[in-house]
């Protein structure tokens, strides 16, 4: 294996220190292949280049390594933290990687509950509100969570309304109320906006709500019961009845949660399921002694990472089960951004080094149990069941999407080298009577839509409403650089050009006319005409009657309304149309700001404005025209043309 690598790389490996650290492998293009940690850098890295890995995945990776970087650290725990920071930020190709762009939602109680600065004044900051929140936290507010999903937060807010009757309205609404809202009528708010509750009494409700959210439920119940009895002794039966209702509502909630005898207040339960080359980690959250729900995570590169893994001192054959590897990777990456709770319950035994690293990072003592009892065991079993269900759902969805891709390939007579790499780009044109014309390009790759690769093109310099010219422009702009790169490479095959590549199929939303235009563009660029397929609407433009039109002269193909291939094409085409429509509407909104300026010019009414836009193809065309050109429009005198020119410049 070492014969395939440069002497410089092998000498760098031999010179590595026998210390803990992190190593990174790169290919000839500078792409990061793998990030790993080691208790002994020299021994660990050398094992990659001293053994013959054959045709395995690890062998395939090692054959690509041309450059290496290493970082020495003080301990294995420190190496683990650095490793997963790099994995999460740099997305190496062969590591288990959890991608989650969503932040966790919190329940927020606003402000500090300060008393009004002016006697008798009702200020919003004297009556904190409870709200859903996602984002960076601020010290002036109090946050509870995180919660696994938005529904869990909304349920908690509803609970705060039912039991403690805290307000949820925005401050401007609160400050301008003159009478109680509907929430007061249905006993979900105490109406502090109109003075139906004193700041002191409201502050007590807020304090009780915070104690409840922290898990001090019995303390809250005892305090409410004591206040209820005190009111009863003073013969204040109305206030006592209100507190009685609060106690009843809170007791009912605790009974429904069935965790009133659980000592654990903040716990994360992590269960992993691996099947069919995919994995799911299900994270369930217990906060304040209440089970808030769960959230599934699906890592990528599971198979690659499992084959690359090996311990520092032993061979890959003695590597931990893939379930353990996936679970440890999730924990190390997840708790980089999310505070770790003191108690973790795991479906698999995890490394003591990992728990030590999490403790060092958080500054709190973290413990992990993988064979829990009693209530903890019930939680874990729930998490394991949900992990299995979520993974089964994912596999079913992927299997269905793969079947659709395969059906389309077979229907069109295509023979891709790798079905998983089959790439489709679909184009659509959108405008309103020629105004704000935009083209969209959406991408289908790896059996799903790739939103990050979508593109919009503002179409300029064409006659208003000329969809054929717009299609010519967008296809030329999209593929001219790729065609040039292919010519320079001297190859007619597909190639990688940075982040772009020529697709396996180009769909255009239209029939013979659009396909003919696409054919001209591809002929001019020297590209393969067999890539172009038009989606022509059937008789009466009914869904399911579409036909495929080919640029290379083949006969039209009708697949049938129940065809899996047609379902996939319809999905991609509809997405292209949606993307074009939303872009066009946004662009039109901007343009019409300028259009209103034209109509505001003295002497230019709706009819003259319409003629100007039609002649010059939109507001930009009108603005670019000279006064002499404007005067050529019917109904526009030279004097008015000069006024229009001055107004727009």
Residue 228 vs residues 137, 164, 277, 345: alpha-carbon distances, Å: 36, 14, 59, 39
Question: What does the pLDDT look like over 550-585, one tens digit per residue?
Answer: 888 888 888 777 778 888 888 898 898 888 887 666
* Token output for 54: 């054959």
Instruction: Please say if the pLDDT value at position 391 is more than 60.
Output: yes
Question: What does the pLDDT look like over 581-609, one tens digit per residue?
Answer: 876 666 555 544 444 567 667 778 878 88
Instruction: Please say if the pLDDT value at position 630 is more than 50.
Output: yes
- Mean pLDDT for the stretch of residues 300-311: 61
Percentage with pLDDT > 90 across the chain: 12
Instruction: Determine the longest span between alpha carbons in the chain, in angstroms.
Output: 96
Instruction: Please say if the pLDDT value at position 614 is more than 50.
Output: yes
- Domains of the chain as residue ranges with CATH: 2-90 (3.40.1440.10), 267-392 (3.30.420), 419-587 (3.30.420.340), 601-648 (1.10.150.20)
- Mean pLDDT for the stretch of residues 95-110: 78
How far is it, in rounded angstroms, from Cα 131 to Cα 109?
6
Cα–Cα–Cα angle for 567, 569, 573, rounded to 5 degrees: 120
SS3 at position 400: helix
* Higher pLDDT, residue 397 or 496: 397
At residue 133, φ and ψ (nearest 5 deg) are -145, 140
Looking at residue 54, its pLDDT comes to 63
Question: What does the pLDDT look like over 409-447, one tens digit per residue?
Answer: 888 888 787 888 899 999 988 876 556 678 889 999 988
Could you tell me if 26 and 67 are in contact, meaning their C-beta atoms sit under 8 angstroms apart? yes
SS3 at position 590: helix
- Mean pLDDT for the stretch of residues 71-93: 87
N- to C-terminal Cα separation, the chain: 69
Is 0.75 topped by the overall pTM? no
* Token output for 641: 């043309």
* Higher pLDDT, residue 289 or 345: 345
Could you tell me if 501 and 483 are in contact, meaning their C-beta atoms sit under 8 angstroms apart? no
Q: What is the mean pLDDT of the chain?
A: 80
Residue 510 vs residues 292, 534, 538: alpha-carbon distances, Å: 49, 6, 11
Residue 166 vs residues 61, 173, 368: alpha-carbon distances, Å: 58, 15, 37
Q: Which of 383, 217, 211, 233 is nearest to 297 (CA)?
A: 383
Looking at residue 259, its pLDDT comes to 42
Instruction: Please say if the pLDDT value at position 264 is more than 70.
Output: no
Looking at residue 77, its pLDDT comes to 85
Looking at residue 489, its pLDDT comes to 67
SS3 at position 275: strand
Looking at residue 444, its pLDDT comes to 93
User: In this structure, are strands 423-432 and 435-445 parallel, antiparallel, or unpaired?
Assistant: antiparallel
Could you tell me if 628 and 610 are in contact, meaning their C-beta atoms sit under 8 angstroms apart? no
Question: What does the pLDDT look like over 453-479, one tens digit per residue?
Answer: 899 888 887 777 788 888 899 899 999
Looking at residue 587, its pLDDT comes to 59
Residue 602's contacts (CB-CB under 8 Å, 6 or more residues apart) are 643
Residue 114 pLDDT grade (very low, low, confident, very high; cuts 50, 70, 90): low
Looking at residue 172, its pLDDT comes to 82
- Mean pLDDT for the stretch of residues 14-23: 91
Instruction: Please say if the pLDDT value at position 248 is more than 80.
Output: no
At residue 263, φ and ψ (nearest 5 deg) are -75, -30
Question: Positive or negative, the Cα torsion across 492, 494, 496, 502?
Answer: positive
How far is it, in rounded angstroms, from Cα 328 to Cα 309?
12
Residue 57 pLDDT grade (very low, low, confident, very high; cuts 50, 70, 90): low
Instruction: Please say if the pLDDT value at position 281 is more than 50.
Output: yes
How far is it, in rounded angstroms, from Cα 425 to Cα 441?
6
DSSP of 155-215, one letter per residue? HHHHHIIIII----S-HHHHHT-SS--HHHHTTS---GGGTSS-HHHHHHHHHHHHHHHHT
DSSP of 428-453, one letter per residue? EEEEETTEEEEEEEEEEETTEE-GGG
How far is it, in rounded angstroms, from Cα 439 to Cα 540?
25
Looking at residue 492, its pLDDT comes to 42
């Amino acid at each position: 294996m070492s014969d395939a690598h440069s002497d410089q790389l092998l000498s760098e490996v031999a010179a590595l220190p026998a210390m803990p650290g992190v190593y990174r492998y790169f290919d000839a293009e500078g792409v990061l292949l793998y990030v790993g940690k080691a208790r002994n850098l020299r021994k660990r890295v050398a094992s990659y280049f001293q053994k013959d890995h054959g045709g395995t995945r690890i062998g395939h990776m090692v054959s690509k390594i041309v450059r290496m970087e290493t970082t020495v650290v003080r301990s294995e725990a420190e190496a683990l933290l650095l490793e997963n920071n790099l994995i999460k930020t740099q997305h190496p190709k062969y590591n288990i990687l959890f991608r989650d762009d969503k932040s966790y939602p919190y329940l927020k109680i606003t402000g500090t509950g300060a008393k009004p600065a002016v006697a008798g004044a009702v200020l919003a900051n004297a009556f904190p509100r409870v709200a859903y929140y996602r984002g960076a936290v601020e010290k002036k507010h109090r946050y509870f969570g995180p919660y696994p999903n938005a529904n869990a937060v909304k349920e908690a807010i509803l609970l705060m309304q039912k039991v403690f009757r805290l307000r949820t309205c925005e401050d401007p609404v609160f400050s301008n109320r003159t009478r109680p809202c509907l929430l007061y009528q249905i006993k979900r708010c105490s109406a502090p906006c109109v003075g139906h509750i004193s700041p002191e009494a409201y502050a007590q409700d807020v304090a009780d709500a915070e104690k409840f959210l922290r898990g001090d439920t019995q303390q809250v119940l005892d305090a409410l019961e004591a206040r209820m009895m005190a009111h009863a002794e003073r013969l204040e039966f109305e206030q006592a009845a209100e507190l009685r209702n609060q106690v009843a509502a809170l007791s009912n909630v605790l009974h429904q949660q069935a965790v009133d005898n659980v000592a654990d207040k903040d716990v994360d339960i992590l269960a992993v399921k691996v099947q069919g080359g995919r994995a799911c980690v299900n994270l369930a959250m217990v906060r304040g002694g209440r089970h808030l729900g769960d959230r599934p995570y699906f890592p990528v590169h599971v198979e690659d990472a499992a084959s690359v893994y090996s311990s520092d001192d032993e061979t890959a054959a003695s590597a931990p089960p893939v379930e353990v590897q996936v679970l440890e990777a999730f924990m190390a990456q997840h708790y980089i951004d999310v505070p770790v709770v003191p108690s973790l319950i795991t479906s698999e035994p995890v490394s003591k080094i990992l728990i030590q690293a999490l403790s060092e990072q958080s500054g709190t003592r973290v413990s992990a149990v993988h064979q829990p009892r009693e209530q903890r065991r019930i939680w874990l079993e729930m998490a394991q069941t949900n992990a299995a269900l979520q993974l089964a759902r994912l596999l079913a969805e992927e299997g269905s999407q793969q079947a659709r891709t395969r059906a389309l390939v077979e229907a069109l007579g295509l023979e891709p080298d790798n079905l998983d790499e089959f790439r489709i780009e679909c184009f659509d044109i959108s405008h309103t009577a020629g105004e704000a014309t935009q083209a969209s390009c959406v991408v289908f790759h790896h059996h799903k839509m790739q939103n990050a690769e979508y593109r919009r093109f503002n179409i300029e310099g064409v006659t208003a409403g000329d969809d054929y010219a717009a299609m010519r422009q967008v296809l030329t702009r999209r593929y001219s650089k790729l065609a040039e790169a292919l010519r320079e490479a001297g190859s007619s095959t597909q190639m990688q050009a940075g982040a772009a590549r020529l697709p396996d199929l180009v769909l255009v939303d239209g029939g013979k006319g659009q396909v003919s235009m696409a054919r001209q563009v591809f002929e001019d660029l020297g590209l393969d005409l067999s890539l172009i397929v038009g989606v022509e609407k059937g008789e009466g433009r009914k869904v399911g009657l579409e036909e495929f039109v080919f640029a290379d002269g083949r006969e039209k193909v009708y697949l049938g309304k129940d065809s899996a291939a047609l379902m996939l094409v319809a999905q991609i085409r509809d997405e292209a149309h949606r993307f074009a429509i939303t872009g066009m509407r946004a662009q039109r909104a901007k343009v019409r700001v300028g259009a209103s300026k034209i109509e505001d010019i003295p002497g230019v009414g709706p009819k003259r404005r319409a003629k100007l836009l039609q002649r010059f193809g939109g507001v930009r065309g009108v603005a670019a025209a000279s006064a002499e050109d404007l005067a050529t429009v019917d109904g526009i005198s030279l004097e008015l043309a000069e006024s229009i020119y001055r107004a727009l410049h």
